[in-house]
């Protein structure tokens, strides 16, 4: 890390010493590309956790704010979807619970690609939005919250003991898209793990069997993560991502009024272009949090 920083300082010194403006402009462009490559290489070095290379289960839940929060949850889905596309990852929507008037109450997605979990693991937490409400006829400022949960997808070869007696399995009419058979049969599956209270729902596959298999895969990943963390902490500590989705617990704020600013409260990284961030440009926040945790 120190070598990369030293090289960046030497590059900046070299730029300052150039007299030819045209040459300086060309060098700045080339060196900016080098800096981006160095930053990417640095992040690759930081992604050395046990599950970092795995796919990731991303869950979005709306919090305080009613329709506003549901719309905010949908905006976050779009942000992560754009980020996924920019990194040539793939997404698979497992379950969606729409809001009553707009947006989504919750959504579960699998992000597929090398290091998907490693990149996204620090996005876990509460995200806060401040804006003039498009749902308020008086155009008043509203604050909304949504939570993000990230879990690594565990390989099928990993053994997780799940007692069938600890499972409550419900089937119900699917509300998602996916073809005529999905919409006319009780194909959606909800699995509740009674001991931990974990609930996993899958309704986007075509058959009940496929939905059950996918839900079990996600449940297995969640239980395995708990088992691993329980070796180092009390299980109650794992509920840190399940704080009230409300004031004071956010990891990042997105402010669209009265000024434009996105601020990560863990690293103090700021970006004044909120629209660009919401369009999926979140790498600076991801990278800085990886560096913070490494240090």
H, E, C per residue of the chain: CHHHHHHHHHHHHHHHHCCCHHHHHHHHHHHHHHHHHHHHHHHHHHCCCCCCCCCEEEEEEECCCCHHHHHHHHHHHHHHHHHHHHCCCEEEEEEEEECCCCCEEEEEEEEECCCHHHHHHHHCEEEEEEEECCCCCCCCEEEEEEEEEEEECCCCCCCCCCCHHHEEEEEECCCCCCCHHHHHCCCEEEEEECCCCEEEEECCCCCHHHHHHHHHHHHHHHHHHHHHHHCCCCHHHHHHHHCCCCCCCEEEEEECCCCCEEEECCCCCEECCHHHHHCCCCHHHHHHHHHHHHC
Nearest to 110, CA basis, from 127, 126, 123, 93: 93
What mean pLDDT is predicted for residues 99-128?
A: 95
- Please tell me the distance from the alpha carbon of residue 278 to that of residue 284, in angstroms, as a whole number: 13
Q: Please say whether the beta carbons of 209 and 117 come within 8 A.
A: no
Looking at the predicted structure, is the pLDDT value of residue 24 above 80?
A: no
Looking at the predicted structure, is the pLDDT value of residue 150 above 60?
A: yes
So what's the pLDDT on residue 34? 77
So what's the pLDDT on residue 180? 43
Looking at the predicted structure, is the pLDDT value of residue 239 above 50?
A: no
Looking at the predicted structure, is the pLDDT value of residue 293 above 90?
A: no
Band of pLDDT at residue 238, cut at 50, 70 and 90 = very low
Better-predicted residue by pLDDT, 228 or 61: 61
Looking at the predicted structure, is the pLDDT value of residue 234 above 60?
A: no
So what's the pLDDT on residue 254? 98
| Displacement of CA 113 from its chain's centroid (Å) | 14
What mean pLDDT is predicted for residues 173-180?
A: 58
**What confidence tens digit (pLDDT) does each residue in 200-223 have?**
999 988 899 999 999 999 999 999
So what's the pLDDT on residue 123? 97
Band of pLDDT at residue 3, cut at 50, 70 and 90 = low
**What confidence tens digit (pLDDT) does each residue in 33-69 have?**
777 777 777 777 889 888 999 999 999 999 977 899 9
Better-predicted residue by pLDDT, 231 or 243: 231
Looking at the predicted structure, is the pLDDT value of residue 176 above 60?
A: no
What is the reported pTM?
0.78
Q: Please say whether the beta carbons of 126 and 146 come within 8 A.
A: yes
So what's the pLDDT on residue 2? 55
């Amino acid at each position: 890390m120190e070598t990369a920083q030293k090289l960046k300082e030497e590059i900046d010194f070299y730029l300052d010493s150039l007299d030819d403006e045209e040459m300086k402009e060309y060098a700045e462009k080339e060196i900016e590309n080098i800096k981006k490559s160095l930053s990417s290489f640095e992040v690759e070095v930081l992604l050395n956790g046990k599950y970092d290379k795995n796919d990731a289960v991303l869950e979005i839940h709306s919090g305080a704010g009613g329709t506003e929060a549901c719309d905010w949850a949908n905006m976050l889905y779009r942000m992560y979807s754009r980020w996924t596309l920019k990194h040539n990852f793939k997404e698979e929507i497992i379950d969606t619970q729409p809001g009553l008037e707009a947006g989504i109450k919750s959504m579960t997605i699998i992000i597929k690609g090398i290091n998907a979990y490693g990149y996204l693991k620090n996005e876990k937490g509460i995200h806060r939005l401040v804006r003039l409400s498009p749902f308020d006829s008086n155009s008043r400022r509203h604050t909304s919250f949504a939570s993000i949960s990230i879990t690594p997808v565990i390989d099928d070869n990993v053994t997780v003991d799940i007692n069938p007696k600890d499972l409550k399995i419900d089937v119900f009419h699917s509300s998602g898209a996916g073809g005529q058979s999905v919409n006319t049969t009780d194909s959606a599956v909800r699995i509740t793990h009674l001991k931990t209270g974990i609930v996993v729902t899958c309704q986007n596959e075509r058959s009940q069997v496929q939905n059950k298999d996918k839900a079990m895969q996600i449940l297995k990943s969640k239980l395995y993560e708990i088992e691993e963390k329980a070796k180092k902490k009390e299980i109650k500590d794992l509920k840190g991502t399940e704080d009230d989705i409300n004031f004071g617990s956010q990891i990042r704020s997105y402010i669209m009024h009265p000024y434009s600013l996105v601020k990560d409260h863990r690293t103090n990284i700021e970006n004044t272009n909120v629209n660009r961030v919401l369009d999926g440009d979140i790498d600076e926040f991801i990278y800085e949090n990886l560096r913070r945790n490494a240090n």
